[in-house]
Amino acid sequence: MRPGVRFALISAAVALLLAPAAAQEEHPDTLAGTLRARTARRLEAIASEADGVVGYRIVDLTTGDHFSRLENTAFPAASTIKLAILYELLRQADAGAIDLDKVEPLDRSRAVPGGLLYELGTPLLSPRDLAVAMIVQSDNTATNVLITRLGMDSVNRRMRELGLTGTKLRRYMIDLEAARRGDENVTTPADLVTLLMAFHERKGLSEEAGRTADRILRIHKLTPIRTGVPSSVPVASKSGELEGVRADAGIVYLERRPYAFAAMSTYMGAEDAGTRTLEALARESYNYFSRLATVSRYGRQIR
């Protein structure tokens, strides 16, 4: 065989051997996309296998990328509606209509079970005190007093101004007659994320009001998000629960990769089924974002 022909055959053989290896090399964006797709499948599986109906919206605050399911569907808000009340309280305080630190006797006409204030008679409390009790202890009496002071229509009007058309405050806490009439407080996973972002970005709020919200929302609470995230990672959140209903919404301030999380469930069979589902969604979300926070473009762990 002539030397030229032999060289050509050898070169062709080498090219064939090398071709599969070259084709297998993945672009770094493809690798990250594979991880993202896997996470999306796992989140969907958790929600679809739950004994009820589950929706969520989870947003990467670094890139704007998101995972979502039934994100624009109205669910019973339970106590997550208290985020809307907190926002309106701070807006009215910014406008000078309410003094956050002016103390007054507790309005017992709005006292209902579900919190410490129901047991305390008529203590002197400020709107700031009521807000802390409402968010941290989910105190229903504190919430009802604030609804009376702020006005239910004012809260709903403010939500519409923010574009939260799926969020409606229709009744006081523990008003079962209103609930039986269908006057349920409702919101959507997407609305909850938008409201959280309004606090985070100080949208419509002064810097002082934003700091007040941040301090209150970051106080440690035993919620599905908190269970799914290490205690060292700050979380600004509010959860809620009713019979057959569980919801949780918050911003997870993971270093280098913060994200907003809102998950809601209804028609749940067992009382704790919604809690378990939301905890699993929170844990899967943290597993995903914590990897993005500590890796190179190719997925190598770099701390």
- The parent domain of residue 112 ranges over 27-293
Burial label for 224, CB within 10 Å (0-12, 13-18, 19+), is: buried
Within-domain flag for 282: yes
Least confident of 13-17, 192-196, 255-259: 13-17
Q: How many domains does the chain have?
A: 1
User: For residue 1, what pLDDT is reported?
Assistant: 53
User: For residue 303, what pLDDT is reported?
Assistant: 67
Residue 249 belongs to domain with CATH number: 3.40.710.10
User: For residue 158, what pLDDT is reported?
Assistant: 97
Distance CA 88, CA 85 (A): 5
Report which listed range, 14-18, 220-224, 284-288, is most confident.
Answer: 284-288
**Contact between residue 104 and residue 125 where contact means Cβ atoms under 8 Å apart:** yes
The model's confidence at residue 23, banded by pLDDT at 50, 70 and 90, is very low
Burial label for 135, CB within 10 Å (0-12, 13-18, 19+), is: buried
User: For residue 117, what pLDDT is reported?
Assistant: 87
Within-domain flag for 16: no
pLDDT at 27 over 50: yes
Separation in Å, CA 257 to CA 37, 62, 113, 265, 285: 18, 6, 39, 26, 11
The model's confidence at residue 177, banded by pLDDT at 50, 70 and 90, is confident
Within-domain flag for 176: yes
Q: What is the distance in angstroms between the CA of the first residue and the CA of the last residue of the chain? A: 58
Neighbouring CB atoms inside 10 A of 2's CB total 7
**pTM of the predicted protein model:** 0.88
Q: Which residue has the higher pLDDT, 53 or 10?
A: 53
Within-domain flag for 184: yes
Within-domain flag for 9: no
Within-domain flag for 17: no
Q: What is the chain's mean pLDDT, rounded?
A: 90
pLDDT at 18 over 60: no
- The residue type of 165 is T
Joined together, the tokens standing for residue 288 give 């995903």
Within-domain flag for 135: yes
Task: Assign 263 to helix, strand or coil.
Answer: strand
Within-domain flag for 158: yes
Per-residue pLDDT tens over the stretch 207-218: 999 999 999 999
Separation in Å, CA 161 to CA 124, 164, 198: 33, 7, 12
**Contact between residue 167 and residue 77 where contact means Cβ atoms under 8 Å apart:** yes
Joined together, the tokens standing for residue 11 give 């070169």
User: For residue 11, what pLDDT is reported?
Assistant: 55
| Rounded average pLDDT over 272-298 | 91
Joined together, the tokens standing for residue 64 give 């704007």
